[in-house]
Amino acid sequence: MNKPDIRKKILQIRKKKYTNNVEIDFKSIIRILRKKKINKKIIGGYYAYNYEANIMTILERFEKLNFEISLPKIEKNFQMNFFHWSTKDPMNINEYGIPEPISSKIKYPDILLVPLVAFDKNFNRVGYGGGFYDRYIKKLKKIKKIITIGIAFSFQKVKKISAGKNDINLDFIITEKKTK
């Protein structure tokens, strides 16, 4: 199945199966950070949109542990950057209807929590098709060492995703059931 077909199918399933009561395991993320000996303190998160796994509780817990939170803003030419954000801060709504931080203080994450539409056992992902995260991860890896963790529901796993030349694999995938 090609990416547009996978995207269409999984988005329909996600809309039907979505529940806000399902929690992604915070301890799984902490285990990854310990295993990888990551002690840097900037988490790149996202504001859940279109039935994505909600990570606000995770971001709140990281903030209580004195991690700095950053969230994405869409910029010109289909680019994206991450900006400082606190769980107490207001947000703006972008042209796609997604809340974004108001801050103009760019913060390059050490750990990037990545939303996705579908994933496979090889850590390939399908997003919405704009390439925002692939371009951002490629840019960020030129600046610093990062860990990328895809966040999804277990039902978003598919058998195989054919990766294109611009697609970036994730380091880990975490669902409500387990770490991959």
DSSP 93-105: E-TTS-EEE----
| 111 is a domain residue | yes
Label residue 21 by pLDDT band (50, 70, 90).
low
pLDDT score for 30: 87
User: Contact at 8 Å (CB) between 146 and 114?
Assistant: no
Domain-located, residue 13? yes
Q: Report how many domains make up the chain.
A: 1
Q: What is the pLDDT of residues 39-62, one digit of tens each?
A: 778 999 999 988 999 999 999 999
Residue 133 lies in a domain: yes
Whether residue 90 is contained in a domain is answered as yes
Can you give the residue range of the structural domain that contains 35? Answer: 3-174
179 part of a folded domain? no
Residue 180 resides in a domain? no
3-state secondary structure of 35: helix
CATH number, domain containing residue 8: 3.40.50.10420
The answer to whether residue 180 scores a pLDDT higher than 70 is no
- The number of angstroms, rounded, from the C-alpha of 101 to the middle of its chain's C-alpha atoms is 16
pTM over 0.75: yes
pLDDT tens digits, residue range 59-96?
999 999 999 999 999 988 888 999 999 999 999 999 88
Residue 9 has pLDDT above 80, yes or no: yes
Residue 145 counted as domain residue: yes
Predicted confidence at residue 76, as pLDDT, reads 85
* 109-146 pLDDT per residue, tens: 999 999 999 999 999 999 988 889 999 999 999 999 99
Report whether pLDDT(158) > 70: yes
Residue 9 CB neighbours (<10 A): 14
